[in-house]
Amino acid sequence: MCQNAQKTLINLMGEIEPSIIALGTEFGLSGNPLYQEVLNEYNVALTAIENWQSGTVAQEVIEVVNDLAAGVAKLPIPATAQTLVQIILAGIATVIGILSANSPAPIPAPTAAVGADATPEEIQAQHQAAAIHDTTVKVQELVPGFKRSIWHSAATQYKATWNAEAVKLNLPSVVLS
């Protein structure tokens, strides 16, 4: 399990928050109750992540993060800027993937995938590989053309993808610094 999973999650969430705020500011959502709910869900999700320990079951944290994703998806953002919403959702999908990969393999373990005599370590490694694969597929569905990099942090990749799209859409006010 990644010993830096929690740090990675907190850093990525630290990039997601200003993008949510930038969208809210750009599209005048500050008085919108749904937008306020999303900001509250973000804070609840961040607190849950800060309290979670890598290697422990993250199902409750994942549920809270899923609530955030559902709220973001409902924000009244113009169709011309929906790709920015998709990037936020891809960031949230990455958070869920990191949580999943750093949780214990589900019971019963997927022994058919690794063999009936697989060790707990092999089962866990298969679980992590499946979580990485599933997350990569989900992110690429949300942000076509996105290529995962093992050389850059999730937060750095998120921010670069967000900023490139903001520039492409000619929305300099939502570029993250």
Q: How confident is the model over 38-63, as pLDDT tens digits?
A: 999 999 999 999 999 888 888 899 99
How does the average pLDDT of the chain come out, rounded? 90
Range of the domain at 62: 5-174
Mean pLDDT over residues 11-28, rounded?
A: 96
| Residue scoring higher pLDDT (70 or 57) | 70
Average pLDDT of the residues in 81-92: 96
In one-letter notation, the amino acid at residue 162 is W
By the 8 A CB rule, do 163 and 170 touch? no
**CA quadruple 26, 27, 33, 38: dihedral, nearest 10:** -60
Per-residue pLDDT at 4 exceeds 50? yes
Burial class (CB in 10 A: 0-12, 13-18, 19+), 132: middle
Distance CA 114, CA 161 (A): 35
Residue in the block written with tokens 């500011």: 25
How many separate domains does the chain show?
Answer: 1
Between CA 152 and CA 148 the distance in angstroms is: 9
112 or 40, which is more confident: 40
Beta-carbon contacts of 157 under 8 Å, excluding residues fewer than 6 positions away, are 148, 149
- Asked whether the predicted pLDDT for residue 111 surpasses 50, the reply is no
- The single residue listed with the structure tokens 């869900």 is 41
